[in-house]
Each structure stands twice: as structure tokens, then as C-alpha cells.
Amino acid sequence: MNGSNSKCGEKAVFGIAVMGAFLIVFFLVLAMRHFSQVPPLNATRAAERARALAEMRAADAEALANVGWVDQAKGIVRLPIADAMKLVEQNWKNPPAARSNLIEREEKASYVPPPPKPKPSEFE
């Protein structure tokens, strides 16, 4: 009987060791969750973000609805979508002329002047 008691005792010690390991891991997980939590956004920051979003949406709505300059030096204008569609409809009644006009406007809008010539070296 001594053999069966020692095996039963070994099993009990093994079970207690496993339960102890699980408890240690459980408390480590709790500690990590406690120390690594991200602080919540405060009300002022949330209000600031909501205000910024509202301003951005208002600016976008204003840009879509009104005429304005994109680049006044190059003559690029922002139009409302409905007006732009009417303009395209009118211009594309003659496709070859409209295509050449479109290419000309694109070249004007994306023109990058060449860099200035470098100064000649004083040793030349």
C-alpha cells in the first residue's frame, strides 16, 4: 500500500503545482492588463476632434457647391459638378476641337518651367 499512497501523493503534488502555475499566469495576465491599458480620450479631445471633422466637412461642402480659384496664376478654376457637366456637354459637341482644347488646358495646368541655367564657372 505504500506504493499506491506515494503515487497518490505525487499526483496531488503535481496537481497543486499545475494549479499554482495557472494561478501565477492568471495574476500575471491581470497585472499586464492593469499596467498596459490605454487611457480613454477625455471629453475636450473628443469635442476638438468632432469640431475639426465638422469644419472639414463644411469646407468640402463649400468647395463642391461654389466656384473658386484652384490656381489663379495658371487660370485653373473649381466649378460645381453640375456646372462642369453642362460645360463638358457643350464643349464635346465637336469632339476633335474639344480634345485639342482639353490637351492644351492639361499642358497649361501641368507646365513646369525649366530650371534656370547654372552660372558659368569663374574658371571657364
Q: Over the stretch 52-93, which tens digit does the pLDDT of each residue have?
A: 999 999 999 988 888 988 888 888 888 998 898 998 899 889
State pTM to two decimals.
Answer: 0.44
- Position 1 scores a pLDDT of 47
End-to-end CA distance of the chain: 110
Least confident of 3-12, 29-38, 71-80, 99-108: 3-12
* Contacting residues for 111 by C-beta, under 8 A, at least 6 apart: 74
Query: What is the structure's pLDDT at 55?
Result: 97
Per the prediction, the chain carries an average pLDDT of: 87
